[in-house]
Structure 1
Amino acid sequence: MSLVYWVVGAIIAGAGFAVYAEFATAIPRNGGELNYLQHAYRKPKYLVSIMYGAQALLLGQAAGNAYTAGRYFIRAGGGLSNEWGSRGIGVVVIVSALVIHSAFLKWGLRFLNIVGTFKIAILLLIAFAGFAALGGHTIGPAPHNFANAFEGTRGDIFGVSACIYNAGWSYVGYSNAFYAMGEIRNPRRTIKIAGPLALGTITVIYMLVQIAYFAAVPREEILGSEQIIAALFFKHMFGESSARALSVFVALSATANVFSVIFAQGRLNQALGREGIVPFSKILASNRPFKSPLAGLSWHSMMTLIILLAPPAGDAYNFVLNLSSYPLNIVNAAVGIALVTAYLPVKLRPEWARDWSPPFRASSPVAVFFTLASLFLVITPWIPPKKAADAVYEHMWYGMAPAVTFGIFAGGALYWLCWAKVLPHVGQYALVPTTVEMQDGTIATVFKKESLHS
């Protein structure tokens, strides 16, 4: 049944890419969803932008993979599983990404390209080794997991939602490219060709990897593996010593993801700063002193460290994973709803969509499907599991991630209310947006207070 969820995750990701690509080819700027939400949700002015900015600024999207990198580095060194050791190594990975992307941008991009190549190579190694495993060439007896493929399958909503979340998390990287659209050469053409090719290729590889895992690793070990199933696969195929050596490449793969996310989120934070709608906007907007978004990178790294280190022992990975992925589905639902309205009859469309005709079209069925899938993933985590043993966390409430997420969005709405409504009313001034050029040449928006009595 696990393979079915991987297929579902891939279909949702493909629909999501199409929806995002339609907006991106119409608005090819850095910032990703921020641009699309601003374009579609114009009233109340700045509300959606600030609510989106709150979750972008306060959540550390790279925490989950930083933790995974730590687990595999410990495994490669022959050490025992140690949660705080894994978090400690995760801290080193995050700080390294910050330093390299801030001060040595070209080297950071080279590192991503090199490790990305290794990542594909290690996935292909697992996939091809899986064919050998299917032929019975494993160390030890064959697990025969495909003999009772649907054994233990349950159909409760909470379980289905959790499985889609876990499978879908591996595909969410498709959105990272849209955060740096302004830095891509010929972005409209590139995203239309490279995006589907990359997503299609990685989907096929992921499916082969999952088949390989089930062909080599006993079901009981898979269920108890948490995040180190690749290491178990290597052990059953190549022996313990080879498993430790190959775990280095898996750790580097997770490290590359951390570097990629921090690179993208740093630019998203900079885009928020250039809009002038968040605290310390000028600092976030700056490219000083290394001609890179140092402030945006630093802020995201700090929030990632907090989310990595704050959860209680035993719940760290699941919590950071859910807190990273749940807000994305709220944003996805909002983006999807906006695009659905652009496919309505012209008379029923919102004003921004009356002349909507971007170079790439997702199609209305794809937009509707993506919206419904995102709404499903927003609603279902609130439904309690049927059994306490099926709960996501050991020590926390099952709905902690959704509750924290909505708290952050509510905090953003409260900030907007104070900044855009209450304080101007009390102070008798209007906020007037003004475009300025900063000392480093960055073009940004600042809001000046214009007295209503002058």
Structure 2
Amino acid sequence: MMLWLLGLAIAFAGRFIWLELGCMIPRSGGEKVYLEAAYKRPKLLATTVFAFQIVLLGFTASGCIVFTQYVYAAAGKTADEWEKRGVAILVITFICSLHAFVPNFGVRFMNGIGVIKVVVLFFIVVTGWAVLGGGTKVEDPHASFRNSFAGTSSSGYEWSNSLFKVLNSFAGYTNAAYVLNEVKNPVRTLKIAGPLGLGICGVFYLLANVAYFAAATPEEVAKSGVTVASLFMEKVFGSSGQKAISVLIATSAFGNVMTVTFAQARVNQELAKEGVLPFPKFWASSWPFGSPSSGLFLHWIPSFIVIVAVPFGDAYNFILDLEGYPGSVINFFVVCGFFWLRYKEPQLLRPFRCWPPIAAFYLCAQGFLMIAPFLRPPGGKGDTSLPYWLSSVVGIVVLVAGGIWWLVWVKIMPAIGEYRLRPEHEKLQDGTSVIVYKKVKGI
């Protein structure tokens, strides 16, 4: 519970930083826009590194895995790894196709599932109250809360590892920044909906965890993995309740994949419009249905690769760590840029201002999440069968690869070919404006 409270505090600190930056620069793109505003030199470096991180690691494989696990739990069946992978691939393929071919229906469907998610969380919370009140068959609902801090770890690695999972649950607070061009009155909407949505979500998550520990022991909760809600309902209502909640949680996971895919595809498209991706005109296109279909395909590719490549039993935890580490590096530089813009450009209109100590707390949290994953855990083993440092190293490699690509593309190749890159705006047939970097002879 302390981890969830700490995670919520970090998420709120991040929410206020993103709120100031989003109100100050109300454009789609999220961190890309804020990094570009703060780090104008070397030109295109921040954008290119962010592009590598968001394109290669912005997958939604974890949500597809949760959906698959709950579908099989609802059916009461077991399956081998490749059957589960097949279901996960079908999910991401269907969702990308839905957003590409019927984008308006996809948005309505996504919003409808969002309502279901809130209803499910509310039901779990209310059921948890009933359990704590002794109104169910759970014999001792207060057992888990006696000696609450027994067995608490002092390992920095384990705290950071757990925080990555908790913060992933709150990660949606940045999604609105990716699609601000599509939000009516973005400044007013951000100021009201951002803190309110995160606050409601945080309260529900905290109370849901209380409910889980009221019905099951910490050992049972830990062993259940991603299907903890199924365990909860089985403890309270038996097998029929377990199957019913599994269907609803699978639906919720499906909606989460839809939401993240919707946002990520638009970030991919914005990066393509800036010309930092190879073949920018292809990836930036909104043809033929006015949706970022190429951006959706670019999102599908790494999601497919991760689902196929990572051992399914380790996939969920490894993916969250793999997404979390480079995300913390990017967040660290965003908040550094936040302070730089406050100092360098104080005259910019800021409809919302974040209190500096809150930003400093967020900066320290991201610094901890960048260092702690390399501290050796007890026994030298993380929460997967893979080396405990692997996810962080892969994340660093991706960020460094972005820097190397920038060096080759912007510096080395122009020097060898004796040309310079000149940005030119081009209009696609669908009306999309794209920056294309032309080679101009002479340095």
Q: Is the 8 A contact 1:432 1:449 kept in 2?
A: yes
- Partners of 1:384 and 1:86 lie apart in 2 by 32
Three-state SS of the structure 1 residue aligned to 2:349 is coil
- Partners of 2:83 and 2:139 lie apart in 1 by 33
- Partners of 2:55 and 2:178 lie apart in 1 by 14
1:363-382 equivalent positions in 2, closer than 5 A: 363-382=355-374
- Partners of 2:358 and 2:278 lie apart in 1 by 37
| 1:444 corresponds to 2:434 | yes
Q: 2:133 aligns with which of 117, 121, 135?
A: 135
1:162-201 equivalent positions in 2, closer than 5 A: 162-201=161-200
| 1:393 corresponds to 2:384 | yes
Deviation at 1:310, TM superposition (A): 0.8
Cα RMSD (Å): 1.4
Deviation at 1:354, TM superposition (A): 4.2
Aligned amino acid, residue 355 of structure 1: Q
Deviations 1:22-77 (A, max 9, x none): 11111111111100001111111111110110111111431111101100011011
Deviation at 1:263, TM superposition (A): 0.6
| 1:50 corresponds to 2:41 | no
Q: Which residue of 2 aligns with 1:358?
A: 350
Q: Which residue of 2 aligns with 1:335?
A: 334
Q: Which residue of 1 aligns with 2:321?
A: 322
Q: 2:409 aligns with which of 391, 396, 419?
A: 419
1:280-299 equivalent positions in 2, closer than 5 A: 280-299=279-298
Q: Is the 8 A contact 1:308 1:320 kept in 2?
A: no
Deviation at 1:140, TM superposition (A): 4.5
Q: Is the 8 A contact 2:161 2:321 kept in 1?
A: no
Aligned amino acid, residue 318 of structure 2: F
Aligned amino acid, residue 420 of structure 2: A
Deviations 1:68-116 (A, max 9, x none): 1100011011113654433322111101110100000111111111110
Deviation at 1:218, TM superposition (A): 2.5
Deviations 1:263-307 (A, max 9, x none): 100000000000011211111111111111111111111111111
- Range 422-431 or range 216-225, more displaced: 216-225
Deviation at 1:337, TM superposition (A): 0.7
Q: Which residue of 2 aligns with 1:108?
A: 106
| 1:383 corresponds to 2:347 | no
Three-state SS of the structure 1 residue aligned to 2:437 is strand
Three-state SS of the structure 1 residue aligned to 2:262 is helix
Deviation at 1:135, TM superposition (A): 1.6
Q: Which residue of 2 aligns with 1:403?
A: 393
Q: 1:97 aligns with which of 95, 98, 107?
A: 95
Three-state SS of the structure 2 residue aligned to 1:43 is coil
- Partners of 2:256 and 2:395 lie apart in 1 by 23
- Partners of 2:83 and 2:366 lie apart in 1 by 35
Q: Which residue of 1 aligns with 2:238?
A: 239
- Partners of 1:133 and 1:73 lie apart in 2 by 26
Aligned amino acid, residue 387 of structure 1: G
Q: Which residue of 1 aligns with 2:77?
A: 79
- Partners of 1:175 and 1:66 lie apart in 2 by 20
| 1:11 corresponds to 2:9 | yes
Deviation at 1:356, TM superposition (A): 2.9
- Partners of 1:230 and 1:310 lie apart in 2 by 27
Structure 1 unaligned segments of length 5 or more: list them: 344-348
Q: Is the 8 A contact 1:17 1:174 kept in 2?
A: yes
Three-state SS of the structure 2 residue aligned to 1:446 is strand
Q: Is the 8 A contact 1:340 1:368 kept in 2?
A: no
Q: Is the 8 A contact 1:69 1:86 kept in 2?
A: no
| TM-score normalised by L of structure 1 | 0.95
Deviations 1:380-412 (A, max 9, x none): 111110223x52221x11111111111111111
Aligned amino acid, residue 335 of structure 1: V
Q: Which residue of 2 aligns with 1:346?
A: none
- Partners of 2:59 and 2:172 lie apart in 1 by 11
Structure 2 unaligned segments of length 5 or more: list them: none
Three-state SS of the structure 1 residue aligned to 2:421 is strand
| TM-score normalised by L of structure 2 | 0.97
Deviations 1:296-353 (A, max 9, x none): 111111111111221124321111111122221111101011112234xxxxx33xx2
- Partners of 1:40 and 1:237 lie apart in 2 by 52
Deviations 1:130-160 (A, max 9, x none): 0111022333422511112112112121111
